[in-house]
């Protein structure tokens, strides 16, 4: 007697639950600006980057590209119901300040701004002294 094999349907992920309060992580490098909007648990609500906003090459590293990337990510998050955010900024890039201004202009109120750029306490071993 042969057993019937049933096809298993894969469940589509329903998405993160969105509350009024969330977090925004901005990673600003010398070449790009990455934006991640999450809820309080850390589940991603929306994201964006200068490259995903349509900029290529050296224009990705500009403050304007960071503003456009942030506006796109914030717009998606506000549509889902986000209102208040904590902002965490990492990196030395030129898009730091302009991305922060774009959060404010996007309709979100900022409750916390924190710089989480990693700073070495000792760092790698220095090069040996030059002998001439």
Residues 6 or more apart whose CB falls under 8 angstroms from that of 29 comprise: 61, 91, 92, 93
Domains parsed from the chain with CATH numbers? 21-115 (3.30.420.80)
Per-residue pLDDT in tens (0 to 9) along the chain, 132 residues: 667 777 776 666 667 788 899 999 999 999 999 999 999 999 999 999 999 999 999 999 999 999 999 999 999 999 999 999 999 999 999 999 999 999 999 999 999 999 999 998 998 998 999 998
Q: Are 35 and 102 in contact (CB under 8 A)?
A: no
Q: Are 92 and 28 in contact (CB under 8 A)?
A: yes
pTM over 0.85: no
């Amino acid at each position: 007697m042969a057993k019937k094999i049933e096809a298993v349907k894969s469940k589509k992920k329903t998405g993160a639950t969105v509350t009024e309060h969330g977090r925004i992580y901005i990673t600003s490098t010398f070449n790009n600006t990455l934006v991640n909007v999450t809820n309080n648990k850390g589940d991603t609500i929306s994201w964006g980057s200068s490259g995903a906003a349509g900029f290529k090459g050296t224009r990705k590293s500009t403050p304007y590209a960071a503003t456009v990337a942030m506006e796109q990510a914030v717009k998606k998050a506000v549509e889902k119901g986000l209102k208040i955010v904590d902002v965490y900024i990492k990196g030395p890039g030129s898009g730091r300040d302009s991305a922060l201004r774009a959060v404010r202009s996007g309709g979100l109120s900022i409750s916390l701004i924190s710089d989480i750029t990693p700073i070495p306490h000792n760092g790698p071993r220095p090069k040996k002294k030059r002998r001439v």
